[in-house]
Every structure is written in C-alpha cells, then in structure tokens.
C-alpha cells in the first residue's frame, strides 16, 4: 500500500488546511492512504536546546513519518504572502542534524497545496516553498497545482468540503501525486 504523509501548516482549530487534508484522506486512490502528521507539539527551533537536549520527541516522530512515507503533501496556509512560520519551523527541526537531510528528505516526493480565505489561494506560499524543498533535495511534483481560494465558501461549519468541483480537483491532485510518488 502506498502511504502518503499529509502535514497541515496550521495550528488553528477549524483550519481550512487541516480540513483540506481531511477531505483528501477520503479521496485517495485505491491502494493508498493519507496519514496525518502533526506539528502541534514542535517547539520553536533553538540550536542551544538541540545541543543540550537533542531532538524533541515530536520532531523525532515527524522525521520517522517522513522517512516511512512514500511521499509528503504539505497543506500550507499563506501568511503575509509567504510560508507559515510554524510549518517552516517544523521542517527546519526535521532537517536536524544536518547529516540527516538526505535520509529524511533526499529524493522524497513532495508537493504543496493549500487553502485560504482570500481570493488568491496560497500561490505565494507555494512558490516560497520551492526553494526550501529544493535545498532539502526533495523530488518535487509540479504536474498539478491546487490553491483553494475563498475557502470559507467551500467548507461547511464542521470543516467538511462541500464543493463538488473542488472535490474533483482535490481527487485529481492526490491521485496524480500518488502516481508520481510511486515512480522512481
């Protein structure tokens, strides 16, 4: 079975990006699954803390999930026209120690999608992730792009995706990425 790891870049209860991740779990192609990773318990990166105490348990768990996954989807919000700090912080932690970068990220299939209440979706955040993911030597998927704009109108009050066209687009996105992830 193909296992994809999904990581929401928002800590907010009622997050559109977490809701998008949950919707994607239901739309995965047959023979695959989307496992949810968490950044909730990852502290702010501090090299002094790393040196004194090593990696926090939440970081070790996320690193192992990335390593075990056939591919990783970042469900990234856009804050101030760029990457959300909490998700970037989690990725920074998982790249520690630097000698682990190739084991965790090297050649790992990655893609970014996201939802936003604004009219432009998450286009600038997705573009900002490109250089980070390139630096970590991931294998980025560029065949599909999914930016959910005006997300408040496509999710209901409990976070369920209600827009059928967006469900079709999300299904196509996760199917295309899953196919990409299993190709070597």
pLDDT on residue 102 = 97
The CATH number of the domain holding residue 133 is 3.40.50.360
Spatial CA neighbour of 172 closest among 110, 113, 107:
113
- pLDDT over 90 at 120, yes or no: no
Encode pLDDT of 132-180 as tens digits: 999 999 999 998 899 999 999 999 999 999 999 999 999 999 999 999 9
Domains held by the chain: number: 1
Mean pLDDT of all residues belonging to the chain: 96
CB 109 within 8 A of CB 182: no
Q: What is the mean pLDDT of residues 39-62?
A: 97
Q: How many CB atoms lie within 10 A of CB 80?
A: 9
The two three-digit tokens of residue 132, written as one number: 């980070």
pLDDT 10s digits, 86-118: 999 999 999 999 999 999 999 999 999 999 999
- Could you tell me the residue range of the domain that residue 26 belongs to? 2-182
- Check: CB of residue 45 under 8 Å from CB of residue 31: no
pLDDT at residue 184 greater than cutoff 80: no
Averaged pLDDT for residues 78-93: 97
**pLDDT for res 144:** 82
User: What are the tens digits of pLDDT across the range 5-41?
Assistant: 999 999 999 999 999 999 999 999 999 999 999 999 9
First to last CA, the chain: 16
Pick from 109, 112, 113: nearest CA to 180: 109
Q: How far is CA 82 from CA 18, 26, 46, 114, 121, in A?
A: 18, 28, 22, 12, 12
């Amino acid at each position: 079975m193909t296992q994809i790891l999904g990581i929401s870049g928002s800590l907010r209860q009622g997050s559109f990006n977490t809701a998008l991740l949950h919707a994607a779990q239901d739309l995965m192609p047959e023979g695959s699954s989307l496992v949810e990773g968490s950044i909730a318990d990852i502290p702010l990166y501090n090299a002094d803390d790393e040196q004194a105490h090593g990696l926090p348990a939440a970081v070790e768990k996320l690193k192992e999930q990335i390593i075990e996954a056939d591919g990783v989807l970042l469900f990234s919000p856009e804050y101030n026209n760029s990457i959300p700090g909490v998700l970037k912080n989690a990725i920074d932690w998982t790249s520690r120690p630097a000698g682990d970068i190739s084991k965790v990220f090297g050649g790992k299939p990655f893609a970014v999608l996201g939802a936003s209440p604004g009219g432009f979706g998450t286009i600038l955040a997705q573009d900002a992730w490109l250089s980070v993911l390139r630096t970590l030597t991931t294998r980025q998927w560029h065949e599909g792009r999914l930016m959910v704009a005006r997300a408040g109108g496509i999710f209901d009050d409990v976070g369920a995706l209600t827009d059928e066209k967006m469900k079709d687009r999300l299904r196509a996105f996760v199917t295309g990425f899953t196919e990409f992830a299993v190709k070597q």
